Amino acid sequence: MPQKNKLRLGESITKDVIPAYCGYPHIPSRVTIDSMDSPIAHHNPDKHRLPWLLALPKFGIVLLMAALMALLWLLQQSEREEQRNILIKDVLWLEQNLRFHLEGNRDLLQQLAVDMAEPQERARLFRVRSTHLLKNSPEISQISWLDSENKPIIAVPSRNLSDSAANQKGPSPTEQAFEVAKKLGKPAYSQPFFNQSQQSIIELLIPIYNGAELGGMLLATYPLNDLLNSQVPWWFTEKYKVEIVDDNDTLFASKTNLEGLYADSYQIPFDPPGHGLRLKVSNYPNDQSILQRLLTLAILLLAGGVFWSLWLIRGLMQKSTRAEEALRSEHAFRAAMEDSLTVGMRARDLNGRIIYVNPAFCRMTGFSAEELVDRTPPMPYWAPEHLDDTEAMHRVVLAGQAPTEGFEITFMRKNGERFQALVYEAKLIDGNGQHTGWMASVLDITERKHAEELARQQQEQLQFTARLVTLGEMASTLAHELNQPLAAIASYNTGCLNLLASDQVNCQDLKPALEKLGAQAQRAGKIIRRVHDFVRKSEPKRAPCALGEVIDDCLGFVEPDARKRQIRIEAEIPALPLVPADRLMLEQVLLNLIRNGMDAMAESPLADRLLRITAMVENNEIRVTVADQGCGIAPEIRDKLYTAFFTTKQEGMGVGLSICRSIIEFHRGRLWTETLQNSPTGSGTAFIFTLPLESE
C-alpha cells in the first residue's frame, strides 16, 4: 500500500483566517503545505537545486548584516554632515544677529551726531541720549564726545576704559580710526586692541559736523567680551564655544559653558567691525560616537541570534500584521459606515439593557450615547401615552417573537416631540456563536407617513375631479336623456288633467296614464341618483359589491352618449360572485375605460363601431375586459400610457388611466392593455383588469 504523506521537517503551514464582522460571511481558511517529500517534489526536475534554494536565506542574512554595517557607517557620516550643516546655520545666525545689533547702535549714534549739529543744549542732549542708549545696549561700556582735535569733552560714564592700547607704539587704534572717520566723513571702527586692564576693545567713531566743518566725534567703546556676553544666548553656549579671533588666531574674546576638546569649528568674517576679525564657533564633541561603536558591536554580537529568532517567528509576525491590518480596515470601515448611516441602530442584551447606539439613533431621539447606554426599561424615548403598548412589544422582542417584517411604534424625542418609527429586530450573535442580545434597526417614518397621507388625499381629490370632468363631458347627453322622461311626465299629466276636466271621465282610463307617468318619474329619478352617486365625495370603503350591477349602472350612464355616436355596446356578464370593492371607484374605472374605447372609435366606420364588455371568473379572481375596434395604441406611446398627465387627446387631462391603475392596485388587482389581433379594423385595443375574490 502506498504510504500516506506526512507533514515533515521543512514543511510550512499557513492558515489565514479573517473573522466575520458586521454580518459579513466568513472567508474560507486557506491551508498551504509545501513538502520536499511530497509526490510533486519527487516529480520536480529541479529538485537538485533545493540545497541552493535553502542556502539563499542564509546568504540573504549575511548580506543583510553587511548592509546593516554599511548603513551604520552611512548614518554616522550623515550625522556628521548634518551636525556640520547645523553648525554653519547657527554661525550664520549668530553673525547676522551681531551685525544687525551693531548696525542698529551705529544708526542711533549717527542720529545723535546729527542732532548735536545744533549748538543749543548739546551737552544735555548728549548725556540724556547716551544714558538711554547705554541702558538698552549693555555691550557698549562708554560713549564719549570728542572735539575736532580728538580731545575728550564729555564721557558717559566718566571712568576711563580705553586710555590707550597696552604696549602701543606709534598712533593708537583710536587715533587711527579718528583720522579715517575724519577723512571719509562717515563712521569707522578701530582695530581691536587690549587696554591696560587687558580688556579687548573695539571703538566706533562717528563724526559730528557743524555745517561743512568737523565739529567733533562720538566714540562708542565695545568690550568684546561684553559684546559676546550680552548678544550670544545661553542655549547657544550650551552647544558651542564662541570666539573672536583675527587672522593670526589671536583670541580677543570667547564665551562657553563647557571646556574641553571640540569636534569641529567654523569661522566667518566679523564685519563690522572688520579689520580681519573673525567669528569662530566650535561644537562640543559628540559623546554618542562611543555609544555608536558599542551599539555596532552589540549589533554584530546579537545579529545572528536576532535574525535566527526573526526567521522562526517570521510567519507569526506576518499573521499578526495581516490580522492587525484587517482589524484596522474593519474598524475604519465600521466607523465610516456608522457615521454615514441614516438608520438608527440599537443593541440590547438579553435583559433589555441598552449596550450600544449609533450616531443616527442619537440624532433621531435627541439623546446622547452617554444618556442611553446602560439604561434599562422604561427608556427615556418611550412615549408616556403609549407606555403599555411599548412595554408589551418590548416583552415580545425579548421573547424572540418580534415580527420579521418589522413593526411600527411611537417614540418621543428629547424635546418631547413624537415620531413614528419602523423597527426591525434581529438576534445579536457574538464571535463564539452565542446569542447575547438583540440588534434593532430604527427608521423614522414620520415624514413618510405624512407624505403617504397627503398623497392619498391628493389621489382622492384627483379622482373626484376626474369624475366631475367626466360628468361635465356627459352633461349635455345626460340633460337630453333626462329631458325625455320629464317631457313624458308633463304630457301624461296634461292628458290626465284634460280627462278630469271632461264630464266623461273614467278611472280605468286614468290608470294606464298614471302608471306610465310613474315609470317615467322613476326613470328620471334613477338618472339623477346615478349622477348624485357618481359625484358624491366619500372615503374609500371596500364592501361586498355586485360587479354586474356596477356594469349595468355604467351602461345606463353612457347609453345616451353611445346612441348619439352610433356606437353599439355588447355586454356579456354572467352571474358573478360578490367582490370586496368600493362601488364608486369601480364605476369610475369602468366609465373611464368605456369612454376611452368610444373615443378611440370616433373615426371608425359605422359598421365597426362596437364596444364589447365581458367578465369571467378565472383563478379565484374576476377578469373584466373592455374591448374596442378603434384606432389602437401606437407602440411609441404604449410605455407612457399610464403616466400621470400624459394624454393624446387635445382637451384631455391625462389622469384617467393613471387613476384607473391606482384604483385597481388599491383593490390588489392588475390593469393592462392588449392589442386585438382579430379586430375587423386590425387595430382594436382591449383594456383588462382583475379583481381578487378573497376578502381581507
Q: Name the one residue in this structure whose C-alpha cell is 354572467.
A: 574
Report the pLDDT value the prediction gives residue 36, as an integer from 0 to 100: 39
Cα gap 213→41, rounded to integer Å: 108
Report the pLDDT value the prediction gives residue 625, as an integer from 0 to 100: 93
CATH class belonging to 543-696: alpha beta
CATH no. for 446-537: 1.10.287
Cα gap 362→495, rounded to integer Å: 85
CATH no. for 341-444: 3.30.450.20
Domain boundaries, the chain: 56-286, 341-444, 446-537, 543-696
Cα gap 189→174, rounded to integer Å: 9
Cα gap 328→335, rounded to integer Å: 10
Sign of CA dihedral 74, 79, 81, 85: positive
Residues contacting residue 95 through CB under 8 Å, at least 6 positions apart: 268, 270, 279
Query: Does the predicted model carry a pTM greater than 0.95?
Result: no
- Dihedrals φ, ψ of 488, to 5°? -65, -40
Ranges of residues in the chain with a pLDDT under 50 are 1-47, 50, 161-162, 166, 480, 696
Sign of CA dihedral 382, 385, 388, 393: negative
Beta bridge partners of 278: 245, 269
Instruction: Provide the CB-side half-sphere exposure for 235 (13 A, CA).
Output: 1
Report the pLDDT value the prediction gives residue 162, as an integer from 0 to 100: 47
Q: Name the one residue in this structure whose C-alpha cell is 489565514.
A: 16
Q: How far is CA 637 from CA 497, 632, 633, 634, 673, in A?
A: 61, 11, 7, 6, 12
Domain 56-286 has CATH 3.30.70.141: no
Quickly list DSSP for 210-278: ETTEEEEEEEEEEEHHHHHHHHS-HHHHTTEEEEEE-TT--EEEEE-S--S--SEEEEEE-TTT-TT-E
Cα gap 653→648, rounded to integer Å: 9
Report the pLDDT value the prediction gives residue 469, as an integer from 0 to 100: 60
Check if 56-286 and 341-444 are the same fold. Answer: yes
Report the pLDDT value the prediction gives residue 695, as an integer from 0 to 100: 55
Burial class from Cβ neighbours inside 10 Å (0-12, 13-18, 19+) for residue 326 reads middle
Cα gap 629→605, rounded to integer Å: 10
| Length of the chain as a residue count | 696
